[in-house]
Structure 1
Amino acid sequence: MNSSALSLFLIPTVLAENTSENVLSPQIKDVITNLDCFFAEDIRTARRFISSLRLGKVIDQITFFELNKNTDPAETKQQLKNLNQNAGIISEAGCPGVADPGAVAVRLAHDLGINVVPLVGPSSILLALMASGMSGQSFAFNGYLPIDKTERKKAIQHLELQARNQTQIFMETPFRNNQLMDAILESCQPGTSLCVASNLTAPDEFVKTYSIRQWRNNKPDLHKIPTIFIIG
């Protein structure tokens, strides 16, 4: 099959367990049903995700290619070159290519003339922005902030300055959320607005926007809870 006739589908996954019926469109299940080749950030998680949809697919008959931050782009390029069928990219959570290593395969697919087909699904970044009440006209996603305390403080203060004209979005590894929250409360001015969006789409979803002053009196426990932070 010609690479120009092939398609690479960008397949969103759930942000919280047992929510697929509420957050995934029927199109996603239809696409997965008709694919037998996937690029996945974590193959074990991808296999479990497909199994949970109960599509009648035999998991052991599906081809999986690992695609994470440690994957050599040359390896992914060769795998895409060798495709003789449509394939999908499955993120660990949310949308492929958005704060996600799947972007590497997408860029390579464009270079190789493979059609790229994004599918609708949950993005924690956009859901948090929607719920924050902050400006969505101009915003920036900054990924992870430095771990070093001094550098992290400088980064937070820089984002606070930038937030005067542009909403600033960032995140942290869940087990370091509380340390980041403490750093934000110590580094920012009392009147600065901060949105904390945790466990989005889950039954215990938590989304609040308060001033730093208010957060200092109502600090949540965010340990090991997937969270997006927004300064505006």
Structure 2
Amino acid sequence: MSSPFSYSGKLYLLPTTLGDNEPLEVLPATVQHQVERLDIFIAENEKTARRAIKKLVPKKSQPSLQFFILNKHTDPAEVSGFLEACKTGKDVGLLSEAGCPGVADPGAEVVKIAHREGIQVVPMVGPSSILLAMMASGMNGQNFAFNGYLPIDKAARKGEIKNLEKISLDRNQAQSFIETPYRNNKMLEDLIQVLHPGTRICIACDLTLPTEYVVTKTVADWRKTKVDLHKRPTIFILQKDY
């Protein structure tokens, strides 16, 4: 059977830790092995990528590493060139800033190009804050949606919260989303102000870290609870039950 891929070089999707903990506490040895042998990486930030590589493989030589930077400042016309090495038989690693590449992450654009060009994509096992939060939420893991960031404008955000609550009820679907960490407390205030008292909210923050906090309560109970989420990476999930 002939290979479905046009080139021998592969794109490895390399997860990283969700915070400042020991990599091998949350990453399998297979990720460490791939990072150890790769020399070409695509990342959002070279400095943090080098730090992640050094922490995972302390003895790896850094001067010879090649980085392509993919973030909101990257010219879209340059992205396809990041995979040229794969066409010459070399493997490339795509590193996330935190968690899994391609999920709530600009790396999805590189993966799309890899598929279009016939380059094999190899996802590696690692922590996903979205899946970890869903696992621990007690909400509908058979039917859920991740909605990214909600609107910044307060009125628009409250409108979207009500819309997500309606969708949750209509479809029996858990709705997850994130916020910039320094606005987390404001988000929780809006949620408990806007949502029905019986709607459940899961707050999952600092996942995999010693300060991990995952709690699901009704809106009515959250109104009686004090929690400080300021600058703590958080996933919010809501579900309105029948």
TM-score bin (small chain) = over 0.9
Quick one: which of 42, 47, 63 aligns to 2:45? 42
Matched, 1:15 2:18: yes
Q: Within 2, Cα distance between the matches of 1:92 and 1:82?
A: 22
1:82 offset after TM fit, Å? 4.8
Q: Within 2, Cα distance between the matches of 1:117 and 1:74?
A: 24
- Give the residue type in structure 2 aligned to 1:115: Q
What TM-score comes out, normalization by structure 2 length? Answer: 0.93
Query: Residue 205 of structure 2 corresponds to which residue in structure 1?
Result: 198
1:68 offset after TM fit, Å? 1.2
Matched, 1:151 2:156: yes
Q: Within 2, Cα distance between the matches of 1:29 and 1:179?
A: 38
- Give the residue type in structure 2 aligned to 1:98: V
Query: Residue 65 of structure 2 corresponds to which residue in structure 1?
Result: 62
Q: Would the aligned equivalents of 1:177 and 1:222 in 2 still touch at CA under 8 Å?
A: yes
Aligned length: 231
Q: What SS class does the counterpart of residue 8 from structure 1 fall into? A: strand
Q: Would the aligned equivalents of 1:13 and 1:94 in 2 still touch at CA under 8 Å?
A: yes
Matched, 1:179 2:179: no
Q: What SS class does the counterpart of residue 63 from structure 2 fall into? A: helix
Quick one: which of 57, 77, 82 aligns to 1:79? 82
1:43 offset after TM fit, Å? 1.1
| Contiguous gaps of at least 5 residues in structure 2 | none
Q: Within 1, Cα distance between the matches of 2:151 and 2:162?
A: 12
Q: Within 1, Cα distance between the matches of 2:84 and 2:64?
A: 21
Q: Would the aligned equivalents of 1:73 and 1:104 in 2 still touch at CA under 8 Å?
A: no
Query: Residue 36 of structure 2 corresponds to which residue in structure 1?
Result: 33
What TM-score comes out, normalization by structure 1 length? Answer: 0.96
CA RMSD of aligned residues (A): 1.2
Q: Would the aligned equivalents of 2:35 and 2:57 in 1 still touch at CA under 8 Å?
A: no
